Chain A
Amino acid sequence: MTAPTLICSKNQENGLNIKKMKNSDSIGFKLLDQFRDGRNDKIWWRVFALLMIATVATRFYKLDQPDHVCWDEAHFGKYANFYINRTFFFDVHPPLGKMLIGLFGYLDGYNGSFHFDKPGDKFEEHQYMGMRIGCAVMGALLVPLSFLTVWEMTFSLPAATFGGLLILLDHGMLTLNRFILLDPPMLFFISAAIYSMVKFHNQRHRPFSLPWWSWLSSIGVMLSCSVAVKFVGIFVVIFVGCRTIADLWEILGDLSRPVSYTVKHFMARAICLIAMPTLLYMGIFYIHLAVLSNSGPGDGFYSSAFQVGLKGNYLHDGSTPRQVAYGALLTLKNAVTSGAYLHSHDHLYPEEIGGSQQQITTYAHKDDNNNWHVKRHNKLAPSWNSTRPIDFVRNGDLLRLEHFATGRNLHAHRSLAPITIKQFQVTGYGLDGVGDNNDIWRLEIEDGEEGQILETMLHRFRLIHYNLGCALTCTKKKLPAWGFEQDEVTCNPNRRDPNAIWNIEENIYPRLPNVSFRAYEKNFFQRFIESHVVLINGNSALKPKEGEATSKPWMWPINLRGQFFSGGQLQVYLLGNPIIWWGNLVFMVFYLILWVSVGVRTKRRITVTQREIMLQERALSACGWLWLGWLLHYLPFWGMSRVLYFHHYFPALLFSSMMSGILLDYVIESIPLSLPKNSFNASYAAILSATLLILFYSFYLFSPLVYGLVRYADTNSTMHHLHWLSTWEF
């Protein structure tokens, strides 16, 4: 499964072409032969230049249109603002892509003043072009990268040209890469990683040389960048991993070298593909956290200790006693992602919910109703000016929590919780702190030792109901209007529920010395790890809502349904070029058939001509890897439970288009073989031009989808006849 080497493949090509040259006389055929040969630098550069011109033309034409926010620009533009204003935010993707967008905007002089509220908002005088251009440049680079990748894999100029053309002429790739989105940087890094990989592979005869090292490190850099844009970058890491293992396996099999030679190779890869990218990735996060130093809308997603580090957050300058003592006034925060404060207010549960006792909820905002008095289960809270020794709250203690404003105790009993009916209801009960046995909770500090003193912020703990044995939990389900749409709090018999963990945020107790909150501030590694926990939770929490129309992975390759980027007067609709997409599917099946038939032929020792073997080897070895890449970037989506979108297919499309390019070349080379000999060049030229014509025409046909389709009220618009599938909505 190795790509043919530069030297041998060129020789083979050469040998073939000399034969063909004989019966080609006209200049056109000569050019054609040179094109097929690909060794002629002049032709090569001309083709490349043509491709580049076309790329620039298509990617930058009418880039400023539509001049309003399109689709997810609303998100990513906003994130760019946050970077420019250095305010902290939360998003489910790692930061690099957004950092780049922010950088593009910054370089262009954009000051982060546009709000990106919702799709359709006019940009007006704001500097949005910098960001668009930055993304478009990264997206445009996909074309030369695919061209070069295919070239390095096959050393066939027609194959490379097709590979580049299929990316160039695909409306989906084009549309996706013209807007302020994460996809252009991500696709760029993925392609660059693949290109570096094949380039590195072709250096294998000169191991440890300078180009060898630089391409190897380039793989590592690109890998960590792709992961740092979106987590789907993991798939390309796996892809490169497979390739690396295969390479090492080859090297190990070379008995003329000692084992230590393999170890040397292994170490080089371990450094450049594992250690260095990891460091780089952490570095990106370091910049991310360093840049976003001001408090912002993302604070609430992170733990109290994390928020301490954000300027402008009320925790940043606050101070509080470190240890918690009986009698202190506390706020309890649910310690999971975007946890809220334990809250109560002077309203009862409705009659039909049962109990008619006071509501307990969680509430995301600071409020006096979040304050609780902590006291021993059998004593009143000591007053703040008492002189008796301070009684600390310790792990395993039995305690009561009294709501400061209403004097009710945190209480649970054997009736159904309002929404999660499998759990018990939690209420506020009692009068002025006098309640009953069902107010008693046992404190269990996570990984704490018996008798350990509870500490503000640093300790995470559970409150276990003494009588029922259940744990105080926030179910994160919204209560209806009677509960002011705050979140439900229950007592959960499953004590291992991650939502049952709380921490103390504020701790007011004058008898103990205050410590600045800064003492709890997390260091970079803790922040790095917490960011990831929050990111991963955030991603898995993106579940499709009931009844919402979601995009399913099976719809993607068949181009079943696109995605509206912009509605209104100027429609932009993300849809693949159907000719290319459906062609890709055909070629994918074709590859499997070819693969099996070659397998059968080898097994049955059926002989074929040398030329056929050469052609097939060239196609098969390269396509095998691309096919694997496609699988790795497509199959995992079948098992994902998060919300999926059409544009998730585009990394896989990169692989599939490059593969189609190679197979197209194979087919165009093979078909004339079955025709009479002397008509080779003529038929080759005919098929080639027909293919190109179809590709260009289909591009022309659907191009209004990219550059903006003026919406007509009636159904007789120019685009109407293009509804090849009834599911296309433009």
Chain B
Amino acid sequence: MGDTEVKNRKVNRNKNKNEKNKEIPNPAVDPRDEGDGESTPEALPEELTEEPILKKSASPKKSEKKQRKAGSATAGQSLADLPTLAVTCHFNLLPMLLFGVALATRFYALDQPNSIVFDELHYGRYAGLYQKQTFFFDSHPPLGKQLLALAGYLGGFQGDFKFDKIGSSYNASVPVFAMRAVPALTGSLLIPLVYMIMLQLNYSQWTAALAGFLFLFDNALLTQSHYMLMEPIILFFAMSGVLCVLKFRALERSGNAQAHSYSLRWWGWLLSGSIFLTCALCVKYVGVYSYLLGLALVGHDFWEKVLGNLSLTKKQVFGHAVARFFAFFVVPLMVYIGVFYIHLTTLVNAGPHDSAMSSAFQASLEGGLSSIVRGQPLEVVHGSQVTLRHAHGSPCWLHSHAANYPVKYADKRGSSHQQQVTCYVAKDINNWWIVKRPNRTDLAVAAPLDRISHGEEIQLVHGITGRNLNSHNVAAPASPTKQEVSCYVDHNVSMPAQDVWRVEITNREEIGDVWHALESMVRLIHVNTSVALAFSGRMLPDWGHNQHEIVGDVMVNQPNTIFNVEEHRYTRNEDEKDRQLELMTTDFIPLEPVVMGFWEKFFELQIRMLFISNENVQNHMYTSSPWEWLVLTRGIAYWVSPDSNAQIHLLGNIFIWYSATIALAAYCSLLVFYLLRQRRQCFDIHEEAWNQFRTTGEVLLLGYVFHFLPYFFVDHTLFLHHYLPALAFKLLLNAALVEHLYYLTRLVFAKQFFNWMCVLIVLTWMSGILMVFNKFLPLCYGLGPMNATQILDLKLRETWDFIVHKP
């Protein structure tokens, strides 16, 4: 494993300590477990000399402990005050070596394949839209995409590439290497991070290295880090956050916690922990589980160590509570809002996803809707020509056309046979309506303006056909329990026009009583029957051109009854023919454009992201369920070469995944066993070992559960890569369990032989992992021409669907 370098350096440095180290071989595991351990941890004979490194990394802690007992500040204390991070990095080549290998694997052939791989389709496109400052809507927060965009920007990306479908080749304008470097770098940094986390959990350097090894040689993590995908970024932030929180805990739990309180380090770890965890949340909302883990750990410590510490006064306890509240609620909120601030201030141009947002939002963007609605009059008056947009859910506009309701419907019910009124999802000339006072006949707008306010009665005249919006006690076409809405046609069947509507502005606290275009949310109440004009959500059959049904609904207070004026202009001609011509024109009266503040935009975006997500990939071929992740039933095809069977397929290292699943089960069984035994006052392992085992559970098992269980309760389509954050905790747990088993072996068997056996088994296991990793490596990079036999050779499980071209 290329350790010789380390060895040589350390031998010189610690010659005199060697003897001692052999006697107390594994200080990081249980330094107090003296007399028992003759052996070395996972020791190969030639590696014995490396012990000093261990010693070194652990020694600050030891001196710290002594200092605590003495309770005095000496030179040793200042040594202890040095960040452990620095000590480890400077003197410890093992993680550096792992990091080197990580960089090598992650950056190898990074710009290959030079075509769109899987979700690069989305993320690459978003990065491009950032370059163009074009607004887009995505149900995940923007930080990860911002990082990609930044890398793209530095690499000279202009955003000109069209991300059309998976597999299309990039052209020279896309800095593939630069953009893929973000996940590759964060993915590589994961390895030293997990190394440090394991050290922080009091595991030996070898276990820490083993954890790094598992991360390094898992094919899924490698594949994911090799392309523009979010998981490596989110994992990096989450793991950094966890590490910082653990460092903070170490301060909290150290003997002289009070001396550390509010020190620079204390604040540093606390704040960086919460910031990193929030960043994870800002990449994808699943990051919230890492944040909750951090919160749970800090909260638990507060409860136990601060609240339970009776030497602290009430005031001090309160101070600690406030500090933590600040770090874990105020700071994250600031970071989160900051990320969105950048997002919204960068993306000022209208783009393809505008219609997901409200009219006012769209109007605040450059171009797009704003170019149409800019300068349109604000106040709706008698004679206003308007389009009425259904304000919630999927966008559609109140519409009518020169076709009547069929006399009889398919279910034999009759209709009024008047002109159809629908909600149409596209912009159309037939979406224009003219607002009119019931008692006036002229339509041209002239000064003084006759403004329409809340509570006033109006008629709506359909622009092209000139008929009035009408409703009456006839069952609606698709929703028989609701009332039909039509454009009134006098069939002379003693069915009088009931075409007066009352305007109710629902948000007049903010906007005021006068009806404003875009901003006022309006409900139209039918004066005769008190029903509200509503979108029913049903679709009309062929006779209605499959447009959406509009009804009169008794249930007035519901989102489906709310409309707003989107496009708006004043009528200038009395003559109907001229008016129709006028409808075609785009001549506007210039007035002030709509300006929407950051907060309004922020809250609207939040609501749309969190509550109106329609991300539902139907019937995707590579979906999988949470149970299947445990045993790696399905992978995901990411990319396939157009001219050979070379392909990229997301698959974990099956050997690692199975071991980790077994380790998880083993850990849980051991935990239950220990708990049951302890309940009977039998303490099988040393207190130190138990504490370590318990802390592992608190951090790693809890982390795993937090990241895994929620997937059983979501109903959107799930893929294998959703499992990776949980997997990270599982791999750490696996490494931790190996050391615990090693400890148990030493506890049970006095003979050195069994320790060697243990080490041997671990080494065999590791080489097995390497072999499997190597076997599936082609699927990570997608390199080289491969033939069908080679691909089928990799199909270890029947359920893995690789793509094989017909020969």
Contacts and interface: CB of A to CB of B under 8 A. Distances in A.
Interface stretch (B246-254, B709-717, B745-753, B777-785): B709-717
Given A255-B681, A726-B557, A639 B712 contact: yes
Contact of A255 (B393, B680, B715): B680
Interface string B28-50: 00000000000000000000000
Interface in A412-433: 420, 422
Given A252-B679, A547-B536, A547-B538, A638 B307 contact: no
Nearest to B553: A549
B714 A253 contact: no
Contacts of A727: 557
Interface string A140-171: 00000000000000000000000000000000
B296 interface: no
Interface in B533-576: 535-538, 542, 548, 554-555, 557-558, 560
Contacts of B715: 639-641
A600 interface: yes
B619 interface: yes
A597 to B, nearest CB: 12
Contacts of A300: none
Contacts of B493: none
A549 B559 CA distance: 9
B619 A497 contact: yes
A545 B478 CA distance: 14
A717 B89 CA distance: 79
B304 to A, nearest CB: 8
A603 B307 contact: yes
B676 interface: yes
B537 A422 contact: no
Contacts of A604: 307, 310, 317
A639 B621 contact: no
Given A547-B538, A726-B557, A493 B621 contact: yes
A352 interface: no
A259 B620 CA distance: 52
Q: How large is the interface on B (under 10, 10 to 19, 20 to 34, 35 or more residues)?
A: 20 to 34
Nearest to A252: B679
Contacts of B799: 496
B621 A481 contact: no
Interface in A604-650: 604-605, 636, 638-641
Given A249-B679, A252-B676, A253-B679, A729 B537 contact: no
Interface string B443-456: 00000000000000
A271 to B, nearest CB: 21
Contacts of B554: 729
A13 to B, nearest CB: 32
Contact of B535 (A493, A496, A547): A547
A546 to B, nearest CB: 6
Nearest to A641: B715
Nearest to B614: A546
Interface in A194-231: none
Contacts of B548: 547
Interface string A557-599: 0000000000000000000000000000000000000000001
Nearest to B481: A567
Interface in B596-633: 619-621
B76 interface: no
Given A481-B542, A639-B714, A641-B715, A600 B619 contact: no
In this complex, which of B530, B548, B715 has the most chain A Cβ atoms within 10 angstroms of its Cβ?
Answer: B715
B58 to A, nearest CB: 33
B285 interface: no
Q: How large is the interface on A (under 10, 10 to 19, 20 to 34, 35 or more residues)?
A: 20 to 34
Nearest to B710: A639
A494 interface: yes
A548 interface: yes
Contacts of B621: 493-494, 496
A546 B537 contact: yes
Contacts of A726: 557
Contacts of B801: 495-496
A556 to B, nearest CB: 17
A635 to B, nearest CB: 9
Interface in A472-490: 480-481
Contacts of A715: 530
B536 A600 contact: no
Contacts of B108: none
Contacts of A729: 554-555
Contacts of A422: 619
Interface string B644-655: 000000000000
A494 B557 contact: no
B537 A636 contact: no
A523 to B, nearest CB: 28
In this complex, which of A600, A603, A726 has the most chain B Cβ atoms within 10 angstroms of its Cβ?
Answer: A603
Nearest to A567: B481
Nearest to B308: A603
B303 interface: yes
B480 to A, nearest CB: 11
Nearest to A473: B619
B676 A605 contact: no
Nearest to A467: B806
B560 A549 contact: yes
Nearest to A726: B557
Interface in B385-444: 393-394
A259 B680 contact: yes
In this complex, which of A255, A546, A715, A726 has the most chain B Cβ atoms within 10 angstroms of its Cβ?
Answer: A546
A495 B802 CA distance: 12
Contact of B537 (A249, A493, A547, A638): A547
Contacts of B537: 545-549
B522 to A, nearest CB: 17
Contact of A600 (B307, B310, B535, B714): B307
A172 B538 CA distance: 30
A548 B307 CA distance: 50
A578 to B, nearest CB: 17
A255 B548 CA distance: 71
A196 to B, nearest CB: 27
Interface in A517-569: 545-549
Contacts of A249: 679
Contacts of B806: 469
Interface string A114-144: 0000000000000000000000000000000
Contacts of B530: 715
Interface string A248-262: 010011010001000
Contacts of A253: 679-680
Interface in B367-398: 393-394
Nearest to A543: B715
A495 B36 CA distance: 58
Nearest to B314: A604
A621 to B, nearest CB: 20
Contact of B558 (A481, A497, A549): A549
Contacts of A545: 537
17 contacts: A252-B676, A469-B806, A494-B620, A496-B801, A497-B619, A545-B537, A547-B536, A549-B560, A599-B303, A603-B303, A604-B317, A605-B310, A638-B713, A639-B713, A639-B714, A727-B557, A729-B555
Given A548-B537, A549-B560, 7 more contacts: A252-B680, A469-B806, A493-B621, A497-B619, A547-B393, A547-B536, A639-B713
Interface of B: 303, 307-308, 310, 317, 393-394, 530, 535-538, 542, 548, 554-555, 557-558, 560, 619-621, 676, 679-681, 712-715, 799, 801, 806
The 8 residue pairs across chains A and B that have the minimum distance between CB atoms = A547-B537, A639-B713, A641-B715, A494-B621, A603-B307, A726-B557, A252-B679, A603-B308
